[in-house]
Amino acid sequence: MTNFRIFVFKIKSLIIPVSICLFILFLLLFSTENITSAKNGIFLWYNSVLPSLLPFFIATELISYTNLVPLLGNFLNAIMRPIFNVPGSGAFALILGIISGYPVGAKMVAKLKESGACSDIEAERLIAFTNNSGPLFIVGTVGIGIFLDVKIGLLLLFIHILSALTVGFLFRFWKRNKEINKKNAAFKFQQHPISFYNLGEVLYKSIFNSIISVVMIGGFIVLFSVIITMLFNSRILYILSFLLEPIFSIFGMSGNTLIGIITGFLEVTNGLFYLAEVNSMSIYLQTYITAFLLGFGGFSVLLQVLSITSKAHISIKPYFIGKFLQGIISVFYMFLLL
C-alpha cells in the first residue's frame, strides 16, 4: 500500500513537468498556427480587454486610497449582511464585478481583504459570487454577435446576475462554524487618504499596479489562445469528444458540440463562437450550454483570478465551487424561463 502511494505521488509530481514539455514540443510542431493564434489573442486583448478593464482597475486602486468604502459599507451593511452574510463594502465588489466583467470583482475583493474591510472567510464568500461576466460581453458579443438577438442577450444577462446572487445567498453559510466573531469588524480607515498633496504618488501607484494586472490578463489570453490551437491541431479535442460522445449523446450532444463545450471550459469566448458554428445543435441546447459556460467562466478566468487572490491570500476553492454552481443554477433558471 505504501509503495502504491509513493507511485501515485511520483505520477502527480510528473504531471506539470510533462505538460510543460508537451507544451514546448507543440510550440515547435505547430509554430505557424501558434503564431497566428498568439497574434489573435494580442489583438483581442489590445482592442477589447485593455480599454475596457484598465479604467476599472485604476478606479478600484484609487478607491482603496479613500475612506469611501468603509463609509458607504456601513450604510450598505443592512442589505449585504442579512442576505449574503458579508459586510456592506462587499456591494462594491458585486456592483463592479457585474458592470465591468471578469476579473474586476476578484480584484475588488482582494482590495477589500487587504484593507481590512472584510475577514478571510468573508472574502471567500465574496469571491464565490462577485466576479462575473459583464453586460457588454453577454449582450453585445454573445447576444448580438453570436445569437443575432438582443433579447437572448438580455435573458442571458438576467439569468447570469440572478444565478450569481443565488450563489451568494447559498455561500452565506460558507465556514459559518469557523467564524470567530460573527459581528461586524471595525473598518480600517485610511490614515493618509488621497489628497492634493499625495495625488501624484497615488495616481502613479494606481496606474502602475493596474497596468501590471491588465498585462497579466493579456498573457493568459494569449496563452489559452495558443493552447486551444494546439489541442485542435494535435487532434486531442477530437479524441476527447469521441470518447465522451457515447455518454452525452443521450442529451442530444454531437461530437462537435462537445468540442465547443471543452473549448469553452478552457476559454469561454472561443468555445461560444465554436458552438455557434455547429449547425446540428438546437437553439435551446445552445442557450443552455451558453448559460452554463457564462456562469462557470472557464479555466482562463480561473487562473486570472488565482493570480489575484494568491497575492491577497484568498483561497481559490470557494471561487471554483461557486462558479461551477453558478453554471448549473444558470441552466436551471434558463430551463424554467424557456
What's the CA gap between 299 and 38, in Å, rounded?
18
What's the CA gap between 161 and 177, in Å, rounded?
28
Note the pLDDT of residue 185: 47
Using an 8 Å Cβ cutoff, are 326 and 129 in contact?
yes
Of 55, 53, 92, 59, give the one whose Cα is nearest residue 73: 92
pLDDT at 192 over 60: no
Using an 8 Å Cβ cutoff, are 50 and 218 in contact?
yes
In a domain, 23, yes or no: no
In a domain, 168, yes or no: yes
What's the CA gap between 320 and 302, in Å, rounded?
7
In a domain, 27, yes or no: no
What's the CA gap between 96 and 68, in Å, rounded?
15
Structural domain boundaries enclosing 41:
32-175+188-337
Side-chain-facing half-sphere of 118: CA atoms under 13 Å: 32
> Residue 178 corresponds to which cell in the numbers above?
469557523
pLDDT digits (tens, 9 = 90+) for 164-179: 999 999 999 887 777 6
Using an 8 Å Cβ cutoff, are 253 and 76 in contact?
no
Estimate the crossing angle of helix 283-296 against helix 317-337, to 10 degrees: 160
The CA distances from residue 137 to 129, 179, 219, 301, in Å, are 18, 37, 20, 14
Note the pLDDT of residue 223: 87
Of 87, 86, 105, give the one whose Cα is nearest residue 95: 105
pLDDT digits (tens, 9 = 90+) for 115-138: 777 888 899 999 999 999 888 889
pLDDT digits (tens, 9 = 90+) for 227-270: 888 888 888 888 888 888 888 888 778 888 888 888 888 888 88
**Global pTM exceeds 0.75:** yes
Using an 8 Å Cβ cutoff, are 270 and 263 in contact?
yes
> Residue 96 corresponds to which cell in the numbers above?
463592479
> Residue 209 corresponds to which cell in the numbers above?
499596479
Average pLDDT over residues 54-69: 77
In a domain, 26, yes or no: no
pLDDT at 298 over 60: yes
- Who contacts 309 (Cβ-Cβ below 8 Å, separation ≥6)? 106, 109, 110, 127, 315, 316, 319
Note the pLDDT of residue 202: 81
Report H helices in the chain. Answer: 2-29, 31-44, 50-63, 68-84, 90-100, 104-115, 120-127, 135, 150-170, 199-233, 236-248, 255-266, 268-276, 283-296, 299-309, 317-337
Note the pLDDT of residue 126: 93
pLDDT at 6 over 80: no
Of 70, 75, 185, give the one whose Cα is nearest residue 122: 185
Note the pLDDT of residue 16: 73
- Who contacts 228 (Cβ-Cβ below 8 Å, separation ≥6)? 37, 263, 266, 267, 270
What's the CA gap between 214 and 107, in Å, rounded?
11
In a domain, 180, yes or no: no
In a domain, 142, yes or no: yes
pLDDT digits (tens, 9 = 90+) for 263-276: 888 888 888 888 88
pLDDT at 200 over 60: yes
Using an 8 Å Cβ cutoff, are 302 and 269 in contact?
no
Which of 51-55, 240-244, 326-330 is most confident? 326-330
Residue 216 pLDDT class (50, 70, 90 cuts)? confident
Note the pLDDT of residue 169: 94
Using an 8 Å Cβ cutoff, are 330 and 287 in contact?
no
What's the CA gap between 186 and 141, in Å, rounded?
42
Domain total in the chain: 1
Note the pLDDT of residue 186: 46
In a domain, 326, yes or no: yes
In a domain, 290, yes or no: yes
CA angle 228, 134, 220 (to 5 degrees): 30
Note the pLDDT of residue 194: 64
DSSP 193: -
Chain CA centroid to CA 229, Å: 21
Q: What amino acid is encoded at 200 in this protein?
A: G
